[in-house]
Amino acid sequence: MQKRLTFIDRYLTLWIFLAMGAGILIGWALPAIPKLLQGFSRGSVNIPIAIGLIAMMYPPLAKVDFRVLPSVLHNKKHLSLLLLITWILAPLLMYSLGLLFFRNEPHLLNGLVLIGIAPCIAMVIVWNDLAGGNRTYCAGLVGINSILQILLYAVYAWFFMAYLPPLLGMDAFRVSITLGEIATTVGIYLGIPFLLALFSRFFLIRSKGETWFRHKFLPKISPITLIALLFTIVVMFSLKGEMMIRLPWEVLHIALPLSLYFILMFGFTFFVMKNTGADYETTTASAFTAAGNNFELAIAVAIGVFGLNSPEAFTAVIGPLIEVPVLILFVRFALARKGSFNT
């Protein structure tokens, strides 16, 4: 039986739009609430938002079973191709699209960069299952990307936002952040939930068993990601009431390069994997891994480095808004192409 999206996942785009609207309404009608939340700030860190962002990252990381890594390591040809696409081509493509669309808007470009350097580690499992891809292979890819994000995300962010622009003669695009600042932010918002996830898996599986962990614990904590995401969006937009006027244009402005990115990444990866001999299940898992992005991490780092009210954070929030409907279309595309594979 073909799997279906849950009601919550199917209408994620709608929930995000509603959270935006709720935030704007709160900022306009109840200005005391955002002022109260701002009172919980320590330096550039807002405590409630920081807790929410860490909570947002925890459930997807807790679902990562690193024991399946050997299942992807034996197929060195396709794994090497996919890592090249995901960690070299994808960031360069997103940066190029950012330059094409936001040459005079470096803040939006940086927001796109933060999305493009974060391969998906959560929803990719959902898309892959819906399209009938290889779940074990996909889970292994998620494990590899989780580790690589710990190791590479800060370096990539610094390279594309601070180091590369002057080399291309775009000094105005350079942001005054250091590798240490980005690494600290990544350590907080990715490192802490990553360690919590590892401890959870080890101790809870050991004490309660894997069946309980997978079928009781994980379903209980899964909604935390959406709740934390929507909470962050409500707070963000409550502090930016003027977005009411700019919102439709800004969303469309950012949606175009994001849509092109998703289309190009999925289409190219699907084509390459299929034409290098991968079966349908492996091709599908690879294409969704390459096209999807870890928007939770992008949002967390954008807020941690640039601030809750920043254009970078706004751009990162648009990521899931566009990704969900586009990748639903990719599920249909993949299923329609299944018959073209040799069985």
Q: How far is CA 343 from the centre of its chain?
A: 33
Q: Mind listing the pLDDT tens digit for each residue in 197-254?
A: 999 999 999 999 999 999 999 999 988 988 998 888 888 788 765 555 566 778 888 9
Q: How far apart are CA 60 and CA 58, in angstroms?
A: 6
Q: How far apart are CA 198 and CA 204, in angstroms?
A: 10
pLDDT given for residue 330 in this prediction: 94
Torsion of CA 298, 302, 308, 312, to 10 degrees: -100
- Exposed, middle or buried by CB within 10 Å (0-12, 13-18, 19+), for 183? middle
Q: Comparing 280 with 104, which gets the higher pLDDT? A: 280
Lowest pLDDT segment from 33-42, 144-153, 248-257, 276-285: 33-42
Please say if the pLDDT value at position 276 is more than 90.
yes
Please say if the pLDDT value at position 308 is more than 90.
no
Please say if the pLDDT value at position 4 is more than 70.
no
Alpha-helix residue ranges (DSSP H) falling in the chain: 7-10, 12-29, 32-38, 47-62, 70-73, 76-84, 90-101, 106-116, 123-130, 135-158, 164-167, 179-186, 192-208, 210-212, 218-221, 223-238, 243-275, 280-291, 295-306, 311-337
Q: What integer is the mean pLDDT of 266-276?
A: 95
Please say if the pLDDT value at position 288 is more than 50.
yes
pLDDT given for residue 94 in this prediction: 96
**What is the three-class DSSP state of 277?**
coil
Q: What integer is the mean pLDDT of 321-338?
A: 90
Only one residue has tokens 């959870």, namely 200
**Model confidence at 314, in pLDDT bands (50, 70, 90)?**
confident
Only one residue has tokens 């079966």, namely 279
Torsion of CA 328, 333, 336, 341, to 10 degrees: -120
Task: Quickly count: other Cβ atoms within 10 Å of residue 238's Cβ.
Answer: 24
pLDDT given for residue 250 in this prediction: 80
**Into which CATH architecture does domain 8-37+44-337 fall?**
Up-down Bundle (1.20)
Most confident segment among 11-20, 256-265, 318-327: 256-265
Contacts with 101 (C-beta within 8 Å, 6 or more apart), sequence order = 108, 253, 256, 257
pLDDT given for residue 149 in this prediction: 93
Q: How far apart are CA 12 and CA 327, in angstroms?
A: 12
pLDDT given for residue 1 in this prediction: 47
Q: How far apart are CA 317 and CA 16, in angstroms?
A: 9
Lowest pLDDT segment from 115-129, 160-174, 177-191, 312-326: 160-174
pLDDT given for residue 290 in this prediction: 95
Q: What integer is the mean pLDDT of 331-338?
A: 92
Rg (C-alpha) for the chain, rounded Å, is 20
Task: Quickly count: other Cβ atoms within 10 Å of residue 199's Cβ.
Answer: 11
Q: How far apart are CA 132 and CA 134, in angstroms?
A: 7
Q: Comparing 44 with 97, which gets the higher pLDDT? A: 97
Q: Mind listing the pLDDT tens digit for each residue in 181-196?
A: 889 889 989 999 999 9
User: Rounded to a whole number, what is the largest CA-CA distance in the chain?
Assistant: 62
Please say if the pLDDT value at position 273 is more than 90.
yes
Q: Mind listing the pLDDT tens digit for each residue in 22-33?
A: 888 888 888 788
The whole-chain average pLDDT of the chain stands at: 87
Q: How far apart are CA 225 and CA 235, in angstroms?
A: 16
Please say if the pLDDT value at position 174 is more than 80.
no
Please say if the pLDDT value at position 140 is more than 80.
yes
Extract the tokens encoding 44: 């550039």
Q: How far apart are CA 89 and CA 268, in angstroms?
A: 10
Percent of the chain with pLDDT over 90: 43
Q: What integer is the mean pLDDT of 79-99?
A: 95
pLDDT given for residue 36 in this prediction: 83
pLDDT given for residue 268 in this prediction: 97
Lowest pLDDT segment from 76-90, 125-139, 245-259: 245-259
pLDDT given for residue 336 in this prediction: 93
Domain boundaries, the chain: 8-37+44-337
